[in-house]
Amino acid sequence: MKYTFPHNFYWGSATSAPQSEGHLPDDGKGQNIWDYWFEENPELFFDQVGPQTTSTFAKNYREDLRLLRSIGLNSLRLSISWSRIFPEGTGEINEQAVAFYRDIFTTMHEVGIEPFVNLFHFDLPLPLQNLGGWENRHVVSAFATYASTCFSLFGDLVAHWFTFNEPIVIVECGYLYQFHYPAVVDSKRAAQVGYHLALAHACAVAAFRSGKFPGEIGIIVNLSPIYPKDLSPEHKQAALIADCFFNRSFLDPALKGTFPQPLVDLLQAHDALPNYTEHDLAIIAENTVDILGVNYYQPRRVQAPTHQPEQLMPETYFAHYEWPERIMNPYRGWEIYPQGLFDLAIRLKNDYGNPRWYVAENGMGVENEQRFLDETGQIQDTYRIQFFHDHLSALASALASGANCVGYHVWTGIDNWSWLNAYKNRYGLIALDLATQTRTVKRSGLWFKALAETNVLPDVE
């Protein structure tokens, strides 16, 4: 069966400032939490590779953008570095950064790539973290100022804005599971951080609307369909709570303007409700999104809890369940389940009013891809082609069922740096040689080019 997509579909890739830009001498950029964490604890990072160099996009963006366009991409989701615009998080603007981003967005238009611009991708300016980070209400106001500044500086070049990428990851990785800085375990602090992120998002949306800037604004959330072990009441209840923690905690405020009541009740029962005001809740209620970005990688399978953590954790209410029929990506430890993308699309249609949305990330990380080099020097990543093909087949079926999806962005265009994993796993359509910074299109890049230029899903050869 040949799957086709709309003629105006957005075919693109996604990256972020901290994962691709790198630093340039005397560029005026301030330190963010990743710069600091690597400086303090380089041993935590794979091969002790930090964010200072990454994929040198800051140096090579003109060539990189033309290369991405050459493989068919008509759009690109990237982020602005808050600490590049405001080296101290607030105060004086770095004019070098303004010129830098304006030239990036101008070049994108010149080569035929539509900018999808995200304001925050985990890289909080260090001076604001030193004030308590997202636990501090002041940072909410600072983010609203930063967002408004970006709308004013770049609004003539950017029509698609997003406030946060994966805000739940900031909560769970920074305040529950210790994968992001400040790497603490404290459910009450986690709840306050989550609340402030939702409020900061709504304040930025309000600023966008009050400024009457052109275009649309949204948020990017990572969603996983939650599947219970079976339909027994205890496993279904576990799935409901997991869904509230990991999906609805930001999806509901973004699309409905409210927090899921089961989550509110649960936090209240544990005396973990964040500090809030009725005025805050009104801001959240009144500033839902125009467009939603959805990052999808894997489903979440749960069962009733099997142990009780010492303090409130998501695992207080559910345990993970290994589905016997699962297919795994062994390099990332994630289940590959394309049907999950279809299920998410239909849920957005049926439960959330069928909002305008796009796939903001979908991809497959593989370690040591040099194993798959052929005699011409091209990586033969047929496994990635199969991954894309199967997920796009599911997405095409969802579109045929009425889902309002307007695009598909892979993670990522050019191999980039991935937090504590650095360059352990590669995700790109284009390979990056770290030693020479040479870029080489992989087989998946040519496959994606055929897809983007025809809107017809190619076969897996």
Q: 232-265 burial string, b = 16+ CB within 10 Å, else e?
A: eeebebbbbbbbbbbbbbbbbbbbbbebbebbee
Residue in 21, 172, 335, 361 annotated catalytic: 361
Q: Which fold has domain 12-331?
A: TIM Barrel (3.20.20)
With CA atoms as reference, report the closest residue to 21 among 100, 108, 117, 133: 100
What DSSP designation does 4 have?
Answer: B
Q: How many CB atoms lie within 10 A of CB 291?
A: 22
- The DSSP element (H or E) to which 29 belongs, if any, is none
The verdict on whether 166 is a catalytic residue reads yes
The verdict on whether 110 is a catalytic residue reads no
- The DSSP element (H or E) to which 37 belongs, if any, is helix 33-40
CB 249 within 8 A of CB 260: yes
Overall size of the chain counted in residues:
461
- Edge-to-edge order in the sheet of strand 319-320: 226-228, 300-303, 319-320
Which parts of the chain register pLDDT below 70?
Answer: none
Tell me how far apart the alpha carbons of residues 287 and 208 are, in angstroms, rounded to a whole number: 10
Which pLDDT belongs to residue 307? 85
Q: What is the dihedral of CA 198, 200, 205, 210, to 10 degrees?
A: 140
CB 131 within 8 A of CB 139: yes
| pTM for the predicted model, two decimal places | 0.96
Which pLDDT belongs to residue 461? 76
Q: How many CB atoms lie within 10 A of CB 155?
A: 16
- Contacts made by residues 228-234, CB under 8 angstroms, sequence distance 24+: 228/301, 228/302, 228/303, 228/321, 229/301, 229/302, 229/303, 229/304, 229/321, 234/304
Strand duo 75-79 + 425-426: pairing = unpaired
Residue 125: φ, ψ to 5°: -55, 135
Tell me how far apart the alpha carbons of residues 409 and 434 are, in angstroms, rounded to a whole number: 24
Residue in 166, 172, 335, 369 annotated catalytic: 166
SS3 labels along 40-106: HCHHHCHHHCCCCCCCCHHHHHHHHHHHHHHCCCCEEEEECCHHHHCCCCCCCCCHHHHHHHHHHHH
Tell me how far apart the alpha carbons of residues 335 and 151 are, in angstroms, rounded to a whole number: 38
Which pLDDT belongs to residue 217? 98
